Amino acid sequence: MYLALSMPQITDILSNFTDTELAYLYKFRLASYLPATQEKIKEYILRERGLDESTINNLVLTNITRTSSDHTQECPKCKSDKFIHDTDKVSCIVCGHTLVDFDKEEMRSELKEGFWELLGHIGEHI
Measured in residues, the chain has a length of 126
DSSP codes of every residue in 28-58: IIGGGS-HHHHHHHHHIIIIIS---HHHHHH
Nearer to Zn ion, 24 or 44 (CB): 24
Bridge-partner residues for 53, per DSSP? none
Number of residues that bind Zn ion (CB under 5 A): 8
x/- mask, Zn ion, residues 39-78, rule CB under 5 A, reads ------------------------------------x-xx
Q: Are 51 and 23 in contact (CB under 8 A)?
A: yes
Residue 77 Cβ vs Zn ion, minimum distance, rounded to whole Å:
5
**Closer residue to Zn ion in complex, CB, 5/23:** 23
Give the integer Cα–Cα distance in Å for 95 and 26: 9
Minimum distance of Zn ion from residue 104's CB (angstroms)? 18
Q: How far is the CB of 34 from Zn ion (least distance, A)?
A: 21
Instruction: Indicate whether 93 belongs to the interface with Zn ion (CB under 5 A).
Output: no
Q: How far is CA 125 from the centre of its chain?
A: 13
N-to-C CA span, the chain: 25
95 is a site residue for Zn ion (CB under 5 A)? yes
Which residues contribute to the site for Zn ion (CB under 5 A)? 75, 77-78, 80, 92, 94-95, 97
